[in-house]
Amino acid sequence: MSRARTYLDWNATAPLRREAQVAMLAALDGVGNPSSPHAEGRRARAIVEDAREQVAALVGARVSEVVFTSGGTEGNNAVLAAGWDKILLAGIEHDSVLAPARHSRARLVTLPIDHDGVVVRDGLSRALASAPEGSGLLTLQLANNETGVLQPVAVVADAARHHGWAVHSDAVQAAGRVPVDVANLRVDYLTLSAHKLGGPQGIGALVIRGQRTLLPFIRGGGQERRRRAGTENVAAIAGFGAAAEAARCELAQMARVSRLRAWLESQVRSVTPEAIIIAQRAARLPNTTDLVLPGVSAETLVIRFDLAGIAVSAGAACSSGKVGASHVLAAMGLAPELAGAAIRISLGHGSTEGDVARFLDVWTDLAAKRRPRAVA
């Protein structure tokens, strides 16, 4: 029998929570279109609306502000491709933000960041003031998927709104790992994805606050308040709601995960003082560490860990399995030879000391083998 695998890639996707699985199976046992007025349809509608309440509670939103989508990518695309005249963003954003922005008709304005990938506030004011006239959107992720770096979204949002800009934040990695409240963040749009917090893949949400509007994402029906046509994926929505509720109730457990991360990093520094922990001094998600072992490529490390039964990643897991240099680290100014050697270890509520210990055993072995033997 093969040895059990150790999963340390929670930022790519989290294992499905038991609560989500139970909710999905119960929904699959039902029948009925949520738009139908008969009893079966009303039961399906109740499942959708109960889940909407659970997702809204996770981020402090009103129930009416939550629009279900197919995931974070669709939500980001819906906002970024909404016909803005100008968009202010940084190169650290996820590709699902960068790509639609670059393909839009908007004038792109660069949001300055420091070497840790955190917004430079002095440069922000200048960028806002110097931007051309017209409708503007500032987009700033709440947490980076590769480095875990947290952004001062509330402060940035206040500055942007003072200049008349709308504000969007990709909170896909942050929700369920740190407290998220749309009112405190002062954003107009917030993107979520179920599978990052233990829900099913292929379902997410976009929070559209207050009186803000967007053109319909998909046309042809009245679903989601005419914002996204098409029969709702009831089972996936049920799983999302259950996962959101569980994540909200278990948020305090992330303190334990933070201690595991701290132990992992301290042991890495002890074993390999030459190792680099990306953005170590910045505020980060409690579960994420981005490591560089100079002289060893990310591809080699990912493969070696995989062969040892441990799943880690090289940056984002959204490029069809590609292992390559990170645009995030490049935007932060990291040298190409270091950016191409970075691996991401991401923990979750189910991670254990044993998981970290197994990682450290393999890391220690790899580090020893890369060093030339001493001459007798």
- The answer to whether the CB of 119 falls within 8 A of the CB of 140 is yes
List all residues 6 or more positions away from 37 whose beta carbon is below 8 Å from its beta carbon.
Answer: none
Structure tokens at 266: 């301290």
351: left (phi over 0), alpha (psi -120 to 50) or beta: beta
The reply to whether 318 belongs to the active site is yes
Q: Which of 120, 218, 308, 318 is catalytic?
A: 318
CB neighbour list of residue 91: distance below 8 Å, 6 or more residues apart: 98, 110, 113, 327, 328, 330, 331
Q: What whole-number distance in Å separates Cα of residue 45 and Cα of residue 50?
A: 9
What is the sign of the dihedral through the CA atoms of 109, 112, 115 and 116? negative
Pairing of strands 136-139, 86-89: parallel
CA-to-CA distance for 31 and 35, rounded, in angstroms?
12
Of 349, 317, 353, the C-alpha closest to 20 is 349
Catalytic residues, by residue number, are 318
